[in-house]
Amino acid sequence: MGIHTGEPLVVAPKYVGLEVHKTARIMAAGHGGQVLISETTKTLVPEIDVMDLGKHRLKDLLQPESLYQLHVAEQPSEFPALKTLENRPTNLPVQPNALIGREAEVAEVARSLTSGIVRLLTLTGPGGTGKTRLALQAAAELTDTFAAGVFFVSLAPIRDPALVVTTIALTLSVREVSGEPLERTLVAYLNQKEMLLVLDNFEHVVDAAASIAELLVSCPRLTVLATSRERLRIGSEQVYPVAATSSPGEAGCDRRLDEQ
Ligand SMILES: Nc1ncnc2c1ncn2[C@@H]1O[C@H](COP(=O)(O)OP(=O)(O)O)[C@@H](O)[C@H]1O
Ligand SMILES: [Mg+2]
């Protein structure tokens, strides 16, 4: 159970809004029989008997939240580690604001990446349409699916396609072995790992597409989610065009709040 307090919106017959969404995230972090309580609720009900579980990053990718476990008499109080981001192998960055809308797209991208058919999915579209944000959220939803983790590799700072493999290796803390090409070391590391790599801003380094194709062939359990203004043009690629949301900025956002 997840318990949080906030002001939802009523869109009959449901409660909707970011706080409802947060409650669902808190609930999802727990295990059967465990009752998790947010900081807001704990502050409002100071007399309840809780254990402080510390700060945790939920899959909404926002700042870590303090979570508490309610003590329920004669019920188990020992549970496995919470299903939150710090307990998974991932480096997904914190986002400054909540995701607005995009639930259908996030679900579609996540579904495609777990279909077992798509090894490379490229989110395409002009700058600012929300490709990176969509990729990050879809990746966050999959942190429990990819056993070896979900890693975000920013290619924005590089211009030389030859540095793509180096950047991936650096992100994964794979060190160069003397006398061996880095590609081979990376392939040996990734070999049987079930991992999702998010390669962000691939348009800067499209000439590196062939090395991604090789990586996918050599590492059969690797899946790649790329964002790029243009497609990578390699055989196994599936393209997912990302259109801008209807209204730029925050106008009209209320209608698009996540529904739970
Ligand atoms: N659905 C969304 N909800 C909230 N903020 C968003 C959403 N989509 C994009 N943004 C924000 O808008 C800005 C541009 O989006 P971004 O994903 O970086 O676009 P792109 O990668 O296509 O250039 C970023 O600050 C991002 O966090
Ligand atoms: Mg981007």
The residue behind tokens 């510390």 is 54
- Phi then psi for 198, rounded to 5 degrees? -100, 110
User: How many Å lie between the centroid of ligand 1 and the Cα of residue 57?
Assistant: 20
CB atoms within 10 A of CB 148: 16
pLDDT for position 251: 35
Q: How many residues does the chain have?
A: 260
Which of 62, 150, 83, 155 lies closest to 110, judged by CA? 150
Kindly state if the Cβ of 131 falls inside 6 Å of ligand 1. Answer: yes
Kindly state if the Cβ of 132 falls inside 6 Å of ligand 1. Answer: yes
Residue nearest to atom 14 of ligand 1 (CA): 128
Kindly state if the Cβ of 96 falls inside 6 Å of ligand 1. Answer: no
Domains, the chain, ranges and CATH? 2-80 (3.30.70.1230), 103-259 (3.40.50.300)
Kindly state if the Cβ of 100 falls inside 6 Å of ligand 1. Answer: yes
pLDDT for position 55: 97
Series of mean pLDDT values for 10-residue runs along the chain (260 residues): 96 92 96 97 95 96 97 92 95 96 96 95 97 98 96 96 96 95 96 97 95 96 97 94 71 38
pTM of the model: 0.91
Name every residue whose Cβ is closer than 8 Å to that of residue 255 and which is 6 or more positions away in sequence. none
User: How many Å lie between the centroid of ligand 1 and the Cα of residue 60?
Assistant: 14
Kindly state if the Cβ of 17 falls inside 6 Å of ligand 1. Answer: no
